[in-house]
């Protein structure tokens, strides 16, 4: 599995930031793998389960929920998303 780390952006946010180590995201491939709500050359907005997800070509993923996401939940979401992206060959060096 691709290395990553999870950051809680701020105490008032209901989200977490996932940063991939040494990988970028092929947004065209990622868009086919997730329920895309919109895109631009640098970001895809998508739904994943009950979460809003922003995937950036740079390898950054923002995940927001209706309720606060703790670090443990963030790690679980990261693993699920990264597995989907890896299987779809959407992660690049």
Inter-residue contact 73 to 66 (CB < 8 Å): no
Tens digits of per-residue pLDDT, 52-70? 999 999 999 999 999 999 8
Both structure tokens of 6: 């999870």
Average pLDDT of span 75-88:
97
Reduce the DSSP state of residue 32 to 3 states and report it.
Answer: helix
Q: What pLDDT is attached to residue 17? A: 94
* CA angle (14, 75, 59) in 5-degree steps: 85
Looking at the predicted structure, is the pLDDT value of residue 87 above 80? yes
Tens digits of per-residue pLDDT, 17-43? 999 999 999 999 999 999 989 989 999
For the chain, the domains span 4-92
Average pLDDT of span 6-24:
88
Q: What is the pTM of this model?
A: 0.92
Tell me the CATH architecture of domain 4-92.
Answer: 2-Layer Sandwich (3.30)
Q: If we measure between CA atoms, which residue out of 22, 67, 25, 66 comes closest to residue 42? A: 25
């Amino acid at each position: 599995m691709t290395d990553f780390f999870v950051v809680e952006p701020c105490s008032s946010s209901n989200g977490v930031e996932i940063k991939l180590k040494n990988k970028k995201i092929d947004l065209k491939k990622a868009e086919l793998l997730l329920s895309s709500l919109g895109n631009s050359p640098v970001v895809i907005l998508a739904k994943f389960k009950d979460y809003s997800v922003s995937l950036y070509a740079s390898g950054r993923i923002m995940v927001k929920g209706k309720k606060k996401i703790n670090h443990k939940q963030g790690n679980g979401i990261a693993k699920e998303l990264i597995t989907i992206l890896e299987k779809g060959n959407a992660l690049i060096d």
